[in-house]
Amino acid sequence: MRNAPTILHLDMDAFYASAEQASKPSLRGKAVVVGGLGPRGVVATASYEARVFGVRSAMPMAQARRLAPNAAYLVPRFGFYRAISEQVMGLLHALSPLVEPLSLDEAFVDLEAGEAAWDATSARLVGERLRADIRAVTGLTGSVGLAASKMLAKIASEEAKPDGLVLIEPGTERAMLGPMSVRTLPGVGPATGDHLRRAGITTVDDLAEAGEDELVRLLGKAHGHALHAMALAHDDRPVVAEREAKSVSVEDTYDVDIHDRLRVGLEVQRLADRCVRRLRAAGLSGRTIVLKVRRYDFSTLTRSETLRGPTDDPAVVREAAARLLDSVDTTGGVRLLGVGVSGLADYTQEDLFAQAAGEGTAEQVTEEGDRREEPAEERQAVVERRWPAGHDVRHAEFGHGWVQGSGLGRVTVRFETPRSEPGRVRTFRVDDPDLEPADPLPLVEDVTGVSAEGVGA
């Protein structure tokens, strides 16, 4: 480990929910929950006001609604969050060439590699300046942890939440970690925590005192060895600038089980096209096509097929996914479908036989094209989905607003912007010609030349 706290961990505070509150003046200081709103949806992020009621990330949305019935429940706007993330990551890359993103709202930074910090004093100054810059550029807050290792920096940022900074001085790690719960350490989830508790191990000090041999006996060689090292505050993992993607995949969970085999096939085709779009956006291709099916009884099946060469041809991926589906019994109903591509490469080897077989049908099927083939009742459902809760709209007379809710042929909109006062609410027909989807507005005036404006929801 280092002798200076020059590894920084940034974690944006309740990122999705905070972005929604900053975007919508009427929600500031209110409980906000972002996630899938269907019966099987889960919470992606809850604001700190919602957490007071016990709402947490990854919780079933139905449970969240029981705990906080008066919260605002919104559908994620990932394009909007991604634009803000790019602004934040730009600030981190200005500090060091070694930035390791973990998600849209979280990253490690090696300050030493960028010569931005070399001791505790300089590291603290960098951390405070970063928090101020993030607030100025995005209007949001982030918590910063500084330590001599990645594990400790992440623990420090968690201790700093919300909107704070914690620096762990080298030499104080063991004393700080000792009284903490074993669940503080990475890799110790509920099951491992319960297993250790039954053995009388509840704190990090207990782990260290148990010794490596005992932990290996309880948890196995790899996990026991790693956990003992972490209990002693040993972590030599470097900050890695880029992680090589192993696969690209997409999946959907359905509010109601799909029983119609034709509908299942259409969903697989649509997922294959979405997967190829992600593949192409990353400049990649792949050899192995993977189909994932979770059936009505929660049993999950995966099927895969390896091609002769890497491809990013949507027709090839669709056809392979369809062949894989033929081998799966979906009679009882399907609750989740996924399509993925692995064996990635940065080039394609055109499959001439597949091209010949698919000639005339290789044009990528768009989501609009898929909809034209759906039954009338499915088209009606699509009309309702045009107005997801929380997404941006514009009205010819009233201007910019966001959807509070929709149903029964009506859509309710609150008209306000990030820099306005809380706005008025009005209700329209879902097919009102004066109402249309809109792009999100930037949260603050453009300070750096990077703006969220123009990014679709």
Q: Per-residue pLDDT tens for 357-403? A: 433 333 333 333 333 334 444 434 443 447 999 999 999 999 999 99
- Residue 18: is its pLDDT beyond 90? yes
Task: Please tell me the predicted confidence (pLDDT) of residue 76.
Answer: 92
DSSP letters spanning 390-449: T-EEEETTTEEEEEEEEETTEEEEEE--TTS---EEEEEETT-TTEEE-PPPPSS--SSS
- Please tell me the distance from the alpha carbon of residue 93 to that of residue 57, in angstroms, as a whole number: 28
Q: One of 20, 49, 100, 106 is an active-site residue; which one? A: 106
Specify whether the CB–CB gap between 75 and 41 falls below 8 A: no
Task: Please tell me the predicted confidence (pLDDT) of residue 347.
Answer: 57
Task: Please tell me the predicted confidence (pLDDT) of residue 48.
Answer: 96
Instruction: Sort strands 300-311 and 410-415 into parallel, antiparallel or unpaired.
Output: unpaired
Q: Which residues contact 385 (CB under 8 A, 6 or more apart)?
A: none
* Token pair of 159 as six digits: 């201790």
Strand order across the beta sheet in which 72-74 lies: 43-46, 32-35, 72-74
Exposure b/e, 306-344, CB count within 10 A at least 16 = b = ebeebbbbbbbbbbbbeebbeebebeeebbbbbbbbbbb
Higher pLDDT, 190 or 431: 431
Please report which helix (H) or strand (E) contains residue 7, including its range.
Answer: strand 7-12
The tokens 């925590």 sit on which residue?
A: 193
Write down the mean pLDDT value for the chain: 86
Using CB atoms within 10 A of its CB, is residue 377 exposed (0-12), middle (13-18) or buried (19+)?
Answer: exposed
Q: Is 350 a catalytic residue?
A: no
Task: Please tell me the predicted confidence (pLDDT) of residue 348.
Answer: 53
Percentage of the residues of the chain whose pLDDT score is greater than 70: 88
Beta bridge partners of 7: 110, 147
How many separate helices (H) and strands (E) can be counted in the chain? 16, 17
* Token pair of 48 as six digits: 């700190």
Instruction: Sort strands 32-35 and 72-74 into parallel, antiparallel or unpaired.
Output: parallel
Q: Per-residue pLDDT tens for 370-381? A: 333 344 444 344
DSSP letters spanning 299-339: -EEEEEEEEEEEE--HHHHHHHHHHHHHTS--TT-EEEEEE
Upstream peptide bond of 162 is cis (omega within 30 degrees of 0): yes
Identify the three-state secondary structure at position 230.
helix
Exposure b/e, 145-156, CB count within 10 A at least 16 = b = bbbbbbbbbbbb
Task: Please tell me the predicted confidence (pLDDT) of residue 363.
Answer: 32
Q: Per-residue pLDDT tens for 147-203? A: 999 999 999 999 999 999 999 999 898 999 999 998 888 878 888 888 899 989 999
Q: What average pLDDT does the segment 58-69 reach?
A: 93
Specify whether the CB–CB gap between 382 and 374 falls below 8 A: yes
Describe the crossing of helices 212-219 and 190-198 by its angle, rounded to 10 degrees: 120
Bin 162: left if φ > 0, else alpha if -120 < ψ < 50, else beta: beta
Return the beta strands (E) in 213-297 as ranges: 247-258, 285-295
Specify whether the CB–CB gap between 409 and 368 falls below 8 A: no
Strand order across the beta sheet in which 300-311 lies: 247-258, 334-345, 285-295, 300-311
Task: Please tell me the predicted confidence (pLDDT) of residue 244.
Answer: 67
Identify the three-state secondary structure at position 145.
strand
Q: Which residues contact 277 (CB under 8 A, 6 or more apart)?
A: none
Identify the three-state secondary structure at position 188.
coil
Task: Please tell me the predicted confidence (pLDDT) of residue 448.
Answer: 44
Amino acid of residue 340: G
Q: Per-residue pLDDT tens for 21-63? A: 999 999 999 999 999 887 778 899 999 999 999 999 888 999 9
Quote the DSSP letter at residue 283. Answer: T
Amino acid of residue 16: Y
Task: Please tell me the predicted confidence (pLDDT) of residue 354.
Answer: 39
pTM, rounded to two decimals: 0.74
Higher pLDDT, 282 or 104: 104
- Please tell me the distance from the alpha carbon of residue 330 to that of residue 382, in angstroms, as a whole number: 24
Describe the crossing of helices 314-326 and 261-281 by its angle, rounded to 10 degrees: 140
121-130, 262-271, 308-317: least confidently modelled range: 308-317
Return the beta strands (E) in 91-235 as ranges: 99-103, 106-110, 142-147, 165-167
Beta bridge partners of 126: none
Which is nearest to 246 in space by CA: 338, 345, 312?
A: 345
